[in-house]
Amino acid sequence: MTKIGIRYTKPRKLIFKALNHFSKPVSAAEINFYLKNKIDLTSIYRTLELMKKINIIEETEFGDGKKRYELMKNNKHHHHLVCENCGDVENIEMKEDNLLDKVKNKSSFLIKEHKLEFFGLCPNCQ
């Protein structure tokens, strides 16, 4: 009875490195491109799925039908500003206790998480 856990393989290392390289949410295709096709898209998807499950990345959607993933560096929850013109993304952190309390008061849902994204124009594109 040999039991082995999750393996930290070469593909996974590369994908982790890729995610770490970006400071914003990136799609599977972008990771693939960054890694110059070294790792199959399928494996990228599977690895992302895994990383999501073990909670080291976060999934976001900006509305263009592609899921994006971002490393939860230092575990700091944050949101994004997305430029509708050039696609540039800025991270944004803020205190949101007020907001959350407000919602918890208004509803009887048990809230586990939330996503908040802003869309507009970056300084360059204004």
Using the rule CB under 7 A, is 36 a contact of DNA? no
Is 92:79 a contact under the CB 8 Å cutoff?
Answer: yes
Query: Is the CB of 8 or the CB of 97 nearer to its own copies?
Result: 97
From 6-14, 20-28, 42-50, 63-71, span contacting its own copies (CB under 8 A): 63-71
49 binds, among Zn ion, Mn ion, DNA, none (CB under 5 to 8 A by kind): DNA
Alpha-carbon gap, residue 100 to 123, rounded angstroms: 29
Site for Zn ion in 58-117 (CB under 5 A): 83, 85-86, 88
Residue 82, class by beta-carbon neighbours within 10 Å (0-12 exposed, 13-18 middle, 19+ buried)? buried
86 binds, among Zn ion, its own copies, DNA, none (CB under 5 to 8 A by kind): Zn ion
Using the rule CB under 7 A, is 1 a contact of DNA? yes
Helix axes 10-21, 41-53, angle to 10 degrees: 80
Using the rule CB under 8 A, is 86 a contact of its own copies? no
Query: Is the CB of 102 or the CB of 115 nearer to DNA?
Result: 115
Q: Residues in the site for its own copies, rule: CB under 8 A?
A: 59, 61, 63, 65, 67, 81, 83-84, 90, 92, 94, 96, 98-99, 102-103, 106-123, 126
